[in-house]
Structure 1
């Protein structure tokens, strides 16, 4: 326990890296999910097919394989492009590779989350808004967006919880996150069980606090939807 306390500042630094990775990955996943849902809902045959290919690839490829492909394949691609312009080799950081991989993976799941939430909105509401002559942006802001958020929040919360746990896999490509630093510290102190138990508790704390935030958001938007009626 004394050694765990001695390494606590280092582990706290790794925890911050893990949180940062999860947040930026979620931002990328949200953007990809919104684009994917828009392609499925309002796009043509080509965009629908592209989104279908995207979601099929993500369902069929393990997270670890995707991270390794983006980390090593991404570096090779960057170096090929830079070499074509006469520049020297560049390296893709583990943080960037992890963010791209996790964002890419969970963007596919959010595609279905957003699409399902949009399809839940009664069509009669948008038709009534159009009949009243509401501007499209006003209709989105006043009618579609509040309900879309309310219907998407439960699925969005689930994706976030799984995404946070997936950040642990990025340690295999050398990211100095909570898991990577705890692994190194556990080997040095010869107490891997103690350090990984601490990691377990930290992840439980992340997910517990996240769930409280999402529970509050769901209650808030449920009340907004109730008052709107």
Structure 2
């Protein structure tokens, strides 16, 4: 193996791999944010909303958790331009063209991630004793203030380990967005392997970089868990 190909020089692929890693983190962070917001809304709708909405949310979770993420990415990537054009035509707006692959891919992974996070949030909410909510109301706290000060810290502490797993899944699922042509880490490694005919070198480098990202992420979430448990012991 020619390790010089991993360098930062004009003939090396080091900078391209680094940029691919940065894009992988950006995709994972964006999809995680989308999934967290969407998952929290779904969990709240299922726990506090009317029964028909709760059933629709349950069906959504079953479908999105039951199909491959790659299928969701391809469906959204190829259908989004037509859907967006039809929506703009109905409002007499100009056709904006195809959405950016970054947005489409992050949204697709975020929608799938939201289906998993909805169950995580619902489990964290159900783990709180009903007396906690009653105590917040007895203390004179309104619904939002009681949720933010009493329930939310406990929910976050309960769901943090599971959310760390979802983040790891998002990091790895970002590789599926390579089918849209995005030059994230997986796509960059594939192009470099094909251009240099050194698949072992670049796929091994990709494995190491993914392991670095997931290991560092694990350390961050472990630190957050320790902080949460230290707060709970006070």
Rounded to whole Å, the distance in 2 between the matches of 1:106 and 1:10 is 28
Point out 4+ residue stretches in structure 1 off by more than 2 angstroms.
79-89, 131-138
Unaligned ranges ≥5, structure 2 = none
Residue of structure 2 equivalent to 1:101: 108
TM-score (norm 2): 0.92
- Root-mean-square deviation (CA, aligned residues, Å) is 1.4
Rounded to whole Å, the distance in 2 between the matches of 1:187 and 1:74 is 30
TM-score (norm 1): 0.94
Rounded to whole Å, the distance in 2 between the matches of 1:120 and 1:28 is 24
How far has the Cα of 1:135 moved from its partner? Answer: 2.9
Rounded to whole Å, the distance in 1 between the matches of 2:201 and 2:104 is 29
Counterpart among 13, 36, 40 of residue 46 in structure 2: 40
Q: How does 1:42-191 map to 2 (within 5 A)?
A: 42-83=48-89, 85=92, 87-88=94-95, 90-191=97-198
- How many positions carry a matched residue from both structures? 227
Of the structure 1 ranges 136-145 and 156-165, higher mean CA displacement relative to structure 2 is found in: 136-145
| CA offset digits 1:83-133 (Å, max 9, x no partner) | 553635611222111111000001000000000001101111221222232
Q: Secondary structure at the residue paired with 1:196?
A: helix
Counterpart among 219, 222, 230 of residue 212 in structure 1: 219
Counterpart among 8, 15, 18 of residue 12 in structure 1: 18
Rounded to whole Å, the distance in 1 between the matches of 2:138 and 2:206 is 56
Compared CA separation, residues 143 and 183, structure 1 to 2 (3 A): same
How far has the Cα of 1:45 moved from its partner? Answer: 1.1
Of the structure 1 ranges 81-90 and 150-159, higher mean CA displacement relative to structure 2 is found in: 81-90
| CA offset digits 1:168-199 (Å, max 9, x no partner) | 01001111111111111111111011101111
